[in-house]
Structure 1
């Protein structure tokens, strides 16, 4: 079943067309890669899909309770409530909060106690806070960070900060998880561990995953389908086998006529 449909999506910045008539159709629980050379429009596409930017034209539709709902131009918080979550190319953690608090803070939309319960510390407050903390610790176990729950996020090694961002995104209970260059800056061992983690998340949470990545070994090993962007356009899409030796993909990366 289609969970996300993108039709003729375009975003202009003055005279620059960063995303140009992109079309995508993503099914539930697919693992999709978005690749392309630097400046191809990949992160701009993610920003459009997650509400950071408003489309200049085109449609973004999300399957909400069996009906396709237009979400183009909605604010990021509204898109998050509908089940879209993301990580960022440049890590955006609350660096002076603990690892645990970084995950708990993403659960605010699911907290059920009211203002009065929070102010007067009524039983509903303690019950809900206990539930939130338990879920946050379980997410940290999945990304192998539960033993560092009380450390400041800024003190984590780079690869662990990346995993914490993923845990925070999962805390919003997403239908679709967008990962923007999750392996950036990682060594081969960390990349291997990340690959296994992405597989585990997909199976455990039954979530659709769309990732931008420059590490072609990771993309080719885990993605079921791949979209290739170049100068804002989707030049080809298909399976890893179809993509890896495609003349237009080689031309886009090497700048050569094939």
Structure 2
């Protein structure tokens, strides 16, 4: 089996600072991967490189597309999205003046096939596709437990439910790879437990490859099959949770201990 994502010697410089330096990763289809590291380690910068927000200074990012590796480093974010990549953000980015349902529906607009005239004249194709969009959006909201709140404004949702809505909107893109940037941030223990269950469920249902940044180590250790560790922009370790928990370089990075 070929990797769905391969990162080779990836570097991103900001002036004289290397926020990400010579990072390599290999992600197989269907894996649930953790990306951890102290604050300022370069985790979100790496996500931004993988999703096209930043262009690499050096290195390659290859994604498996139609059975062949495709270089996506430096591509526009919307083009990477069209290949089957979705993400959530560290700081929630919802359309807060829109309803919960509308937030999910708007993510599906890239899939519409009807043209401008069909929309203006309200031809059958327009109605059939709009009906399909609504039905699918409702399915995603049911997946994340927000169906009952579909007509509420997004801004009125509690914090944990806004996080879930972001995940539903990301699912609406119909991704192959889903990046979750600190999905449990600000959640209480029960919400975190529910999120852990949700991540497992959506991975199985939609056959997703999931890569998540998270500071909640209990979540990471319980849910991730493999973990990559960044420190000062460099990859210092990767392995299964048990290997990472006992890695002396990881212990030093988090605790500042001499080894």
The match for 2:191 is 190
Q: After superposition, give the CA deviation of every residue in 1:164-190 in whole Å (9 maximum; x if it has no partner).
A: 000000000000000000000000000
Q: After superposition, give the CA deviation of every residue in 1:57-79 in whole Å (9 maximum; x if it has no partner).
A: 00000000110000000011000
Residue 235 of structure 2 corresponds to residue 241 of structure 1: no
Residue 34 of structure 2 corresponds to residue 33 of structure 1: yes
Q: Tell me the SS of whatever aligns to 1:185.
A: coil
The match for 2:129 is 128
What does residue range 157-236 of structure 1 map to in structure 2 within 5 Å? 157-236=158-237
What does residue range 65-214 of structure 1 map to in structure 2 within 5 Å? 65-214=66-215
Q: After superposition, give the CA deviation of every residue in 1:183-204 in whole Å (9 maximum; x if it has no partner).
A: 0000000000000000001100
TM-score (structure 1 length as normaliser)? 0.99
Q: CA deviation at 1:123?
A: 1.1
**For structure 1, which segment, 110-119 or 153-162, has the greater mean C-alpha deviation from structure 2 after superposition?**
110-119
Quote the Cα distance in structure 1 between the aligned partners of 2:243 and 2:169: 34
Q: Tell me the SS of whatever aligns to 2:107.
A: helix
TM-score (structure 2 length as normaliser)? 0.99
Quote the Cα distance in structure 2 between the aligned partners of 1:130 and 1:108: 12
Q: CA deviation at 1:256?
A: 1.6
What does residue range 15-30 of structure 1 map to in structure 2 within 5 Å? 15-30=16-31
- Stretches (4+) displaced over 4 A: none
The match for 1:53 is 54
User: Can you give the 5+ residue segments of structure 1 that lack an aligned partner in the other structure?
Assistant: none
User: Can you give the 5+ residue segments of structure 2 that lack an aligned partner in the other structure?
Assistant: none
Q: CA deviation at 1:120?
A: 1.4
The match for 1:253 is 254
Give the superposed CA RMSD.
Answer: 0.5
**For structure 1, which segment, 121-130 or 34-43, has the greater mean C-alpha deviation from structure 2 after superposition?**
121-130
